[in-house]
Amino acid sequence: MQRVAVLGSTGSVGCNTLDVIARHPDRFEVVALTAATRVEKLLEQCLRFRPQVAVMAGSGHAARLERKLRARGLTTQVMHGERALEQVASDAGVDTVMAAIVGAAGLSSTLAAARAGKRLLLANKEALVVGGELFLAAVRDGGATLLPIDSEHSAIFQALPQDRATWPERVDKIILTASGGPFLRHSPAELAQVTPEQACAHPTWVMGPKISVDSATMMNKALEVVEAHYLFGLAPASIEVVLHPQSVVHSMVQYSDKSVLAQLGTPDMRVPIAYGLAWPGRMASGAAALDFGALRDLSFEPMDSDENRARFPALALAWEALAAPPGTCAVLNAANEVAVAAFLARRIRFDQIHAVIHGTLAQVAPGRLQDLPALLALDTESRATATSLLAHLRQ
Ligand code: NAD
Ligand code: MG
């Protein structure tokens, strides 16, 4: 029996995780669930999965959840705040932590799970992008097992040999696929007009709002390049991105003999989630099988055409940030989180997201990053700079 804590259980990845777990009651026990503000959703999940602990971001939401739980006769312990998340993530009664909080808000709990040596299923890519070497050191020192949940990284992990020591000698490069998001054929003039609703309507994946906007700007792929660099220990020059609008090939590994191994499947997050939960084995995920008879077309296009570079300026920032002083990725992430939130709140236009990121990167000096407090201070400074840049932008 694996005892699982799902951090961010009310989100898109969180709900998919519980859907997979519910298919295997003999293998998994849900011991903790956490959410930011959705009391009713977390209540419903607690009634179904009966965890020992539930955590909400604030005390008000926690008090409401607790009242509702008690009214239904549940004794689930209710806690709130970041320390409670860290406590749950490192608890001795937890074997596996699904890190599915969105953004740098999930950094400290994800790091706590790493330090405590958990089996760590990483959906929260921002935690690794921001944490970088510090994150990897926590995994190493804590003896954690880090398993990728992002579909591209799960694909690469599945296509790589089990023996990590052989990767540098055998692997030429990895090729991340990108669907291109909802605005793949939009002109710059059209991009200036798009709404949050349009940005969140991804053509192939159903996801939370922040990652949906990131997919539309291609920042998601930039974050994934950084994520791949840290997860697989590959030089940035060995990571390539190719457009693949159907999202069937989830990513590929090219070996030194030029043989390419790809992982395919329907675009359903339950596949990488089930792989992370069952690794090194396999188990049912609930996803539909690929129907090769109905697959008319698997197409690929270069990402690095002049047109795509102009349409998606965010992508190149991944390689630029990895070549810059450590901490630059944290600045990039913070600026993006502020800009995306402002776009979702209709305070800036879609095409102004990049201006905020660009401006923040120009103004904030990354400095030395010896520990988590230094990293959090850099995150705070970057957010303040990005927020002040917002004020100068007009709709
Ligand atoms: P989501 O917005 O649907 O859910 C986010 C979850 O985090 C919710 O449960 C929310 O309550 C919680 N949360 C948000 N802010 C919080 C805070 N300040 N403190 C505590 N909890 C907080 O997001 P999602 O789409 O499920 O994405 C989660 C993570 O997984 C992201 O890092 C994303 O990049 C990554 N990811 C998602 C998908 C996908 O298909 N949705 C695919 C690959 C990677
Ligand atoms: Mg992905």
CATH of 2-148, one of 2.60.40.10, 3.40.50.150, 3.40.50.10330, 3.40.50.720: 3.40.50.720
Give ion ligand 2 contacts, CB < 5 A.
150-152
Give burial (CB, 10 Å; 0-12/13-18/19+) of 153. Answer: buried
Cβ neighbours of residue 195 closer than 8 Å, sequence gap 6 or more = none
Instruction: State which of 65, 101, 125 you would mutate to test the pocket of ligand 1, scoring each by most atoms of that ligand within 8 A of its C-beta.
Output: 101
Q: For residue 123, which of 223, 239, 265 has the smallest C-alpha distance?
A: 223
- Domain residue extents for the chain: 2-148, 154-186+207-225+233-311
Identify the weakest region by mean pLDDT among 57-66, 202-211, 341-350. Answer: 202-211
Q: Where are the alpha helices (DSSP H) in 240-371?
A: 270-278, 306-311, 317-323, 328-344, 353-363
Ligand 1 centroid–CA 216 distance in Å is: 17
Q: Whose CA is nearest to atom 22 of ligand 1?
A: 36
Which residues lie with the beta carbon below 6 Å from any ligand 1 atom? Answer: 8-14, 35-36, 38, 57, 100-102, 105, 123-126, 150, 205, 207-208, 210-211, 269
Q: Whose CA is nearest to atom 21 of ligand 1?
A: 36
Q: What is the pTM of this model?
A: 0.98
Tell which atom from ligand 1 comes closest to the C-alpha of 35: 11
Reported as a single tens digit per residue, the pLDDT across 372-389 is 999 999 999 999 999 999
pLDDT at 392: 87
Residue 394's pLDDT band, with cuts at 50, 70 and 90, is low
Which DSSP state fits 162? S
For the chain, first and last CA: distance in Å?
53
Residue 368's pLDDT band, with cuts at 50, 70 and 90, is confident
What is the Cα–Cα distance from 17 to 258, expressed in whole angstroms? 35
Ligand 1 centroid–CA 11 distance in Å is: 5
Tokens describing residue 383: 């957010």
pLDDT at 395: 54
Q: For residue 95, which of 51, 147, 31 has the smallest C-alpha distance?
A: 31
Percent of the chain exceeding pLDDT 70 equals 99
pLDDT at 393: 84
CB-based contact 49:30 (threshold 8 Å):
yes
| Angle 128-247-284 from CA coordinates, rounded to 5° | 80
Tell which atom from ligand 1 comes closest to the C-alpha of 14: 26
Residue corresponding to tokens 């970041």: 82
Tokens describing residue 394: 């007009």
Q: Whose CA is nearest to atom 39 of ligand 1?
A: 207
Reported as a single tens digit per residue, the pLDDT across 4-48 is 999 999 999 999 999 999 999 999 999 999 999 999 999 999 999
Question: From the CA of 224, which ligand is nearest?
Answer: 2
Q: Whose CA is nearest to atom 5 of ligand 1?
A: 11
Strand partners for 120: 97, 146
> What average pLDDT does the structure give for the chain?
96
